[in-house]
């Protein structure tokens, strides 16, 4: 089992989701959420916290599924190195 401070790889690729301008989202950083790519509180037994964010325009975004992006919450193709 991974150490509770390391994220679980939920998906080796992005979650493509339509996001609304001005709405607050919480991206799952631990990889344990059943509501990927969004937080459902599953991080409570880890030292990882969800990332609160908003977007500037309504459109489809690729949110990181592997939890290793250097541009959270957005996919930067880091999953291709895993």
> What is the mean pLDDT of the segment spanning 17-23?
97
Given pLDDT bands bounded at 50, 70 and 90, which one contains residue 55?
Answer: very high
Given pLDDT bands bounded at 50, 70 and 90, which one contains residue 3?
Answer: low
Sign of torsion, CA 42 32 15 76?
Answer: positive
How far lies 61's CA from each of 21, 35, 38, 73, in Å?
Answer: 12, 16, 13, 10
Is pTM beyond 0.75? Reply is yes
> What is the mean pLDDT of the segment spanning 16-35?
98
**Average pLDDT, whole number, for the chain?**
95
Q: What is the pLDDT of residue 64?
A: 98
Given pLDDT bands bounded at 50, 70 and 90, which one contains residue 1?
Answer: very low
């Amino acid at each position: 089992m991974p150490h509770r401070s390391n994220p679980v790889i939920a998906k080796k690729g992005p979650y493509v989701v339509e996001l609304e301008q001005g709405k607050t989202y919480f991206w799952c950083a631990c990889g344990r959420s059943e509501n990927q790519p969004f937080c459902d509180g599953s991080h409570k037994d880890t030292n990882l916290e969800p990332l609160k964010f908003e977007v500037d325009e309504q459109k489809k975004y690729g949110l990181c599924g592997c939890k290793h992006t250097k541009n959270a919450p957005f996919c930067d193709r880091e999953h291709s190195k895993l």
